[in-house]
Amino acid sequence: MAWPIAEVARMSGVTARTLRHYDEIGLLPPARIGTNGHRYYEERQLLRLQQILVLRALGLGLPEIGRILAAQVDELEALRGHRRRLLAERERLDALVSTVSHTITELEQSRKDGRPMTSINRPENLFEGVQPAQYGESLRDFPELAREVERRTSTMSEAQIEAGHRERTAQMIRLAELLAAGTPADADPVQGEVDAQYRALTELRAVSADEYRAIGRSCVENEQVRTAYEAIASGLAAYQRDAIEAYATTRLS
Protein backbone atom coordinates (compact mmCIF):
# COMPACT_ATOMS: atom_id res chain seq x y z
CA MET A 1 0.00 0.00 0.00
CA ALA A 2 1.21 3.49 -0.79
CA TRP A 3 0.22 6.80 0.78
CA PRO A 4 0.48 10.19 -0.95
CA ILE A 5 2.60 12.90 0.61
CA ALA A 6 -0.45 14.81 1.86
CA GLU A 7 -1.68 11.75 3.78
CA VAL A 8 1.76 11.08 5.26
CA ALA A 9 1.94 14.71 6.37
CA ARG A 10 -1.45 14.38 8.04
CA MET A 11 -0.57 11.13 9.81
CA SER A 12 2.86 12.20 11.03
CA GLY A 13 2.30 15.88 11.74
CA VAL A 14 5.24 16.72 9.48
CA THR A 15 4.51 19.25 6.77
CA ALA A 16 4.64 18.23 3.11
CA ARG A 17 7.32 20.89 2.65
CA THR A 18 9.48 19.16 5.29
CA LEU A 19 8.94 15.78 3.64
CA ARG A 20 10.04 17.22 0.31
CA HIS A 21 13.13 18.65 2.03
CA TYR A 22 13.95 15.23 3.51
CA ASP A 23 13.73 13.85 -0.03
CA GLU A 24 15.94 16.59 -1.47
CA ILE A 25 18.73 15.92 1.05
CA GLY A 26 18.49 12.15 0.58
CA LEU A 27 17.20 11.47 4.08
CA LEU A 28 13.78 10.12 3.11
CA PRO A 29 13.21 9.47 -0.62
CA PRO A 30 9.63 8.39 -1.42
CA ALA A 31 8.89 4.87 -2.62
CA ARG A 32 7.95 6.31 -5.99
CA ILE A 33 6.90 9.46 -7.76
CA GLY A 34 3.68 9.25 -9.78
CA THR A 35 3.13 10.49 -13.29
CA ASN A 36 1.48 13.52 -11.74
CA GLY A 37 4.75 14.31 -9.91
CA HIS A 38 3.30 13.45 -6.49
CA ARG A 39 5.41 11.54 -3.98
CA TYR A 40 4.12 8.25 -2.59
CA TYR A 41 5.36 6.46 0.54
CA GLU A 42 5.13 2.81 1.56
CA GLU A 43 5.58 1.01 4.87
CA ARG A 44 9.38 1.10 4.74
CA GLN A 45 9.40 4.87 4.27
CA LEU A 46 6.93 5.35 7.13
CA LEU A 47 9.18 3.32 9.43
CA ARG A 48 12.16 5.41 8.37
CA LEU A 49 10.20 8.61 9.01
CA GLN A 50 9.37 7.33 12.49
CA GLN A 51 13.07 6.84 13.21
CA ILE A 52 13.87 10.32 11.92
CA LEU A 53 11.26 11.87 14.19
CA VAL A 54 12.41 9.83 17.20
CA LEU A 55 16.01 10.93 16.70
CA ARG A 56 14.90 14.54 16.22
CA ALA A 57 13.02 14.31 19.51
CA LEU A 58 16.23 13.10 21.16
CA GLY A 59 17.98 16.28 20.03
CA LEU A 60 19.94 15.12 16.97
CA GLY A 61 20.36 17.24 13.85
CA LEU A 62 19.60 16.06 10.33
CA PRO A 63 23.26 15.41 9.36
CA GLU A 64 23.75 13.19 12.42
CA ILE A 65 20.47 11.39 11.72
CA GLY A 66 21.54 10.75 8.15
CA ARG A 67 24.82 9.20 9.31
CA ILE A 68 23.03 7.04 11.88
CA LEU A 69 20.48 5.73 9.40
CA ALA A 70 23.18 5.06 6.83
CA ALA A 71 25.13 2.99 9.37
CA GLN A 72 22.16 0.87 10.43
CA VAL A 73 22.53 -2.83 9.85
CA ASP A 74 19.22 -4.08 11.22
CA GLU A 75 16.09 -1.91 11.30
CA LEU A 76 14.47 -3.83 14.15
CA GLU A 77 17.59 -3.68 16.33
CA ALA A 78 17.87 0.05 15.64
CA LEU A 79 14.30 0.56 16.82
CA ARG A 80 15.04 -1.39 19.98
CA GLY A 81 17.99 0.90 20.61
CA HIS A 82 15.83 3.98 20.07
CA ARG A 83 13.31 2.57 22.55
CA ARG A 84 16.01 2.06 25.20
CA ARG A 85 17.13 5.65 24.83
CA LEU A 86 13.57 6.98 24.94
CA LEU A 87 12.90 4.99 28.11
CA ALA A 88 16.06 6.42 29.68
CA GLU A 89 14.94 9.94 28.77
CA ARG A 90 11.45 9.23 30.11
CA GLU A 91 12.91 8.11 33.43
CA ARG A 92 14.89 11.35 33.63
CA LEU A 93 11.78 13.45 32.87
CA ASP A 94 9.63 11.41 35.29
CA ALA A 95 12.17 12.13 38.03
CA LEU A 96 12.02 15.84 37.21
CA VAL A 97 8.20 15.87 37.25
CA SER A 98 8.12 14.01 40.57
CA THR A 99 10.62 16.37 42.19
CA VAL A 100 8.88 19.53 41.00
CA SER A 101 5.41 18.20 41.93
CA HIS A 102 6.59 17.26 45.41
CA THR A 103 8.16 20.69 45.90
CA ILE A 104 4.95 22.44 44.77
CA THR A 105 2.90 20.40 47.26
CA GLU A 106 5.30 21.10 50.12
CA LEU A 107 5.60 24.79 49.28
CA GLU A 108 1.81 25.19 49.19
CA GLN A 109 1.51 23.43 52.54
CA SER A 110 4.32 25.45 54.12
CA ARG A 111 2.72 28.74 53.05
CA LYS A 112 -0.62 27.57 54.40
CA ASP A 113 0.82 26.48 57.75
CA GLY A 114 3.50 29.15 58.02
CA ARG A 115 6.17 26.51 58.59
CA PRO A 116 9.35 25.55 56.70
CA MET A 117 9.13 22.93 53.98
CA THR A 118 9.64 19.43 55.39
CA SER A 119 12.12 18.58 52.62
CA ILE A 120 14.50 21.19 54.00
CA ASN A 121 15.29 18.58 56.66
CA ARG A 122 16.75 16.56 53.78
CA PRO A 123 17.64 19.25 51.22
CA GLU A 124 19.05 16.69 48.77
CA ASN A 125 15.42 15.75 48.06
CA LEU A 126 15.03 19.06 46.28
CA PHE A 127 17.53 18.00 43.66
CA GLU A 128 16.46 14.47 42.74
CA GLY A 129 16.54 14.22 38.96
CA VAL A 130 17.78 17.77 38.44
CA GLN A 131 21.51 17.35 38.98
CA PRO A 132 23.69 18.47 36.09
CA ALA A 133 24.36 15.86 33.43
CA GLN A 134 27.03 13.22 33.96
CA TYR A 135 29.53 15.61 32.33
CA GLY A 136 30.21 17.36 35.61
CA GLU A 137 30.18 14.15 37.61
CA SER A 138 32.72 12.59 35.25
CA LEU A 139 35.12 15.39 36.20
CA ARG A 140 34.78 14.78 39.94
CA ASP A 141 38.33 13.47 40.12
CA PHE A 142 39.62 16.47 38.15
CA PRO A 143 38.96 19.41 40.49
CA GLU A 144 40.31 22.19 38.27
CA LEU A 145 38.10 21.19 35.35
CA ALA A 146 35.12 20.60 37.64
CA ARG A 147 35.51 24.08 39.15
CA GLU A 148 35.73 25.62 35.68
CA VAL A 149 32.57 23.80 34.59
CA GLU A 150 30.81 25.07 37.72
CA ARG A 151 32.04 28.61 37.07
CA ARG A 152 30.86 28.55 33.46
CA THR A 153 27.50 27.05 34.43
CA SER A 154 26.89 29.77 37.02
CA THR A 155 26.88 32.40 34.27
CA MET A 156 24.55 30.48 31.94
CA SER A 157 20.79 30.71 31.60
CA GLU A 158 18.58 27.70 32.24
CA ALA A 159 18.00 27.42 28.49
CA GLN A 160 21.76 27.33 27.84
CA ILE A 161 22.30 24.71 30.53
CA GLU A 162 19.51 22.56 29.10
CA ALA A 163 20.91 22.97 25.59
CA GLY A 164 24.29 21.78 26.84
CA HIS A 165 22.68 18.79 28.49
CA ARG A 166 20.81 17.90 25.29
CA GLU A 167 23.98 18.16 23.23
CA ARG A 168 25.90 15.88 25.60
CA THR A 169 22.99 13.44 25.52
CA ALA A 170 22.98 13.63 21.73
CA GLN A 171 26.70 12.85 21.69
CA MET A 172 26.08 9.75 23.81
CA ILE A 173 23.28 8.69 21.48
CA ARG A 174 25.47 9.12 18.41
CA LEU A 175 28.14 6.96 20.02
CA ALA A 176 25.51 4.38 20.95
CA GLU A 177 24.37 4.19 17.35
CA LEU A 178 27.95 3.70 16.19
CA LEU A 179 28.40 0.99 18.82
CA ALA A 180 25.20 -0.74 17.65
CA ALA A 181 26.45 -0.59 14.05
CA GLY A 182 29.64 -2.39 15.07
CA THR A 183 31.90 0.58 14.36
CA PRO A 184 35.33 0.12 16.02
CA ALA A 185 36.18 2.60 18.77
CA ASP A 186 39.18 3.87 16.77
CA ALA A 187 37.21 4.38 13.53
CA ASP A 188 36.95 7.89 12.09
CA PRO A 189 33.23 8.49 12.89
CA VAL A 190 33.81 7.60 16.55
CA GLN A 191 37.02 9.59 16.76
CA GLY A 192 35.19 12.58 15.31
CA GLU A 193 32.74 12.48 18.21
CA VAL A 194 35.57 12.15 20.72
CA ASP A 195 37.40 15.05 19.09
CA ALA A 196 34.32 17.25 19.63
CA GLN A 197 34.27 16.20 23.29
CA TYR A 198 37.97 16.95 23.68
CA ARG A 199 37.66 20.37 22.07
CA ALA A 200 34.82 21.21 24.45
CA LEU A 201 37.09 20.35 27.37
CA THR A 202 40.01 22.38 26.05
CA GLU A 203 37.76 25.43 25.90
CA LEU A 204 37.95 25.26 29.69
CA ARG A 205 41.70 24.65 29.91
CA ALA A 206 44.46 22.50 28.38
CA VAL A 207 43.97 18.76 28.90
CA SER A 208 46.93 16.38 28.58
CA ALA A 209 46.80 12.97 26.94
CA ASP A 210 47.14 11.21 30.31
CA GLU A 211 44.45 13.36 31.87
CA TYR A 212 42.09 12.67 28.99
CA ARG A 213 42.76 8.94 29.33
CA ALA A 214 41.89 9.21 33.02
CA ILE A 215 38.63 10.95 32.15
CA GLY A 216 37.90 8.10 29.76
CA ARG A 217 38.54 5.52 32.45
CA SER A 218 36.17 7.34 34.79
CA CYS A 219 33.34 6.49 32.39
CA VAL A 220 33.73 2.89 33.57
CA GLU A 221 35.20 3.32 37.05
CA ASN A 222 32.78 6.02 38.27
CA GLU A 223 29.55 4.19 39.09
CA GLN A 224 27.23 7.14 38.47
CA VAL A 225 28.80 7.95 35.11
CA ARG A 226 28.85 4.30 34.06
CA THR A 227 25.16 3.96 34.96
CA ALA A 228 24.31 7.00 32.83
CA TYR A 229 26.12 5.53 29.81
CA GLU A 230 24.70 2.04 30.30
CA ALA A 231 21.16 3.48 30.48
CA ILE A 232 21.66 4.60 26.89
CA ALA A 233 23.18 1.34 25.61
CA SER A 234 24.84 -1.70 27.12
CA GLY A 235 28.61 -1.48 26.71
CA LEU A 236 28.60 2.24 25.95
CA ALA A 237 30.75 3.21 28.95
CA ALA A 238 33.59 0.90 27.87
CA TYR A 239 33.14 2.02 24.26
CA GLN A 240 33.59 5.67 25.29
CA ARG A 241 36.66 4.74 27.36
CA ASP A 242 38.22 2.81 24.49
CA ALA A 243 37.46 5.61 22.03
CA ILE A 244 39.16 8.17 24.29
CA GLU A 245 42.16 5.86 24.75
CA ALA A 246 42.52 5.55 20.96
CA TYR A 247 42.16 9.31 20.53
CA ALA A 248 44.74 10.11 23.21
CA THR A 249 47.20 7.61 21.69
CA THR A 250 46.90 8.69 18.06
CA ARG A 251 46.25 12.42 18.38
CA LEU A 252 47.58 13.62 21.72
CA SER A 253 50.66 11.51 22.43
pLDDT tens per residue, range 177-236? 888 888 999 999 999 999 999 998 888 788 899 989 988 998 888 777 887 787 777 888
What residues does each domain of the chain span?
A: 3-57, 75-252
**DSSP sequence for 64-88:** HHHHHHHH-S-HHHHHHHHHHHHHH
CA distance readout (Å), 17 to 23, 74, 251:
10, 29, 43
Distance CA 65, CA 58 (A): 10
pTM to 2 decimals? 0.51
Please check whether residue 67 is in contact with residue 189, taking contact to mean a CB–CB distance below 8 angstroms: yes
pLDDT tens per residue, range 126-182? 445 444 444 455 566 677 777 777 677 667 776 776 677 777 777 887 888 888 888
Q: 3-57 domain in CATH 1.10.1660.10?
A: yes
pLDDT tens per residue, range 91-139? 767 766 676 676 667 667 766 777 655 544 444 444 454 444 444 555 6
